[in-house]
Amino acid sequence: MTKETRDLFTALLDTYETEPTSKIKLKEIRSRFGAEVKQTLTFEEAKVENMPKALRKGDYAPFMADLEFNNVKFVDMFSVR
């Protein structure tokens, strides 16, 4: 079994919900090259790694994911090069 590769994406935080389950809603999802690839995305906390909790609406949320937005891992924006 081969491990799927992840690519870097960035998005703007739209909302962070805690009820009934923790979800993060993102908008303006862009590839690492700057092209917009999706308008909105919603991730449940149980399905992602390192979900950011200290972000506010409009903050950048960089994350690694495969092209179908599975296998998601949020990364520290200061460690992205």
Task: Tell me the pTM.
Answer: 0.82
Cβ neighbours of 16 (radius 10 Å): 19
SS3 11: strand
Give yes or no for residue 1 having a pLDDT over 50.
no
Encode pLDDT of 25-78 as tens digits: 999 999 999 999 999 999 988 888 887 778 889 999 999 999 899 889 988 877
Please list the alpha-helical segments (H only) found in the chain.
Answer: none
The domains found in the chain, sorted by start residue, are 7-74 (2.40.50)
Structure confidence at residue 7 (pLDDT): 93
